[in-house]
Amino acid sequence: MRRWLFTICKNVFLRAAERERDIVPLDGDGGDETLAVVRLHNELVAAGEDGMLDRLDVGPAIQRALQGLAPTFRAAVVLVDLEGYGYGDAATVLGIPIGTVRSRLFRARRLLQESLREYARDAGVAPLDPGGSAHA
Amino acid sequence: MTTTTTHADGVATFDCSETVRRLWDYLDHELSEAERHAVDAHLADCERCPKHFAFEQAFLAALRTAREERGANAALRDRVRSLLGLGGSASDAEHGND
């Protein structure tokens, strides 16, 4: 059953990847991604948007954000966050090293957060407490 | 380069950068025990990182909400198939088509 599910997931993701071919290159050592995730959080705090998740209808917001991800990043998020796979199992499904799962997940989640921020702004979810303390 | 410090009590801890680099691994329970302890030690001392971690934890919880809704949709699909007399589940149908 589990092996069958692995095969189904892998085929679906490979087909999606072939169709779209909009793969974004990953950073070498993840250092830029670490800075980017800190920067994004700082921006959210400074704009009073770090509480946006409490004020959003997150289901549709996340679905829309997921659709905006490149297939390789979406695959990592779907397997780990939506289907509950561990990194090792996700690596097996996708046929990639576990480190690649880790780096794709790192970037994918940041991209999702950026997309959610846009969604929140479009939805008119106003910041409640602008000017909070940011992480330097 | 990994920056770790060992306190006088022998507990290793990371700096902010190393801690944030392990942010998702920590929240996904994918860290080794030693790394988890080092992150915990940093979070206990740092004023800023815990707020960042709390935000990311809320984000993961939101994603889990989407997972639950996804599960509910699958159950609904199966129920509709059942009511239509199609038998089996949506996932079974996908299996048959593969």
pLDDT digits 0-9 by tens, A73-121: 999 999 999 888 999 999 999 999 999 999 999 999 999 999 999 888 8
pLDDT of residue A132: 46
CB contact under 8 A, B64 and A81: yes
Q: For residue B88, is it left (φ>0), alpha (ψ between -120 and 50) or beta?
A: left
- Report whether pLDDT(B89) > 70: no
Percentage of chain A with pLDDT > 90?
39
From A45, A50, A59, residue closest to B69, measured CB to CB: A59
pLDDT, averaged across chain B:
76
Q: B24-68 pLDDT, tens per residue?
A: 999 999 999 999 999 999 999 999 999 999 999 999 998 888 777
Which residues have CB under 8 Å from A115's CB, separation 6+?
A64, A65, A68, A69
Chain B interface test: which of A9, A10, A38 (most B C-beta within 10 Å): A38
Contact A38, A119 (CB under 8 A): no
B38: tokens are 């080092």
Strands B4-6, B12-14: pairing is antiparallel
Q: What are phi and psi of A61, to 5 degrees?
A: -60, -45
Rounded to a whole number of angstroms, the distance between the first and last alpha carbons of chain A is 47
Residues in chain A within 8 Å Cβ distance of B24: 102, 105-106, 109
Give the least confident one: A1-10, A48-57, B17-26, B65-74: A1-10
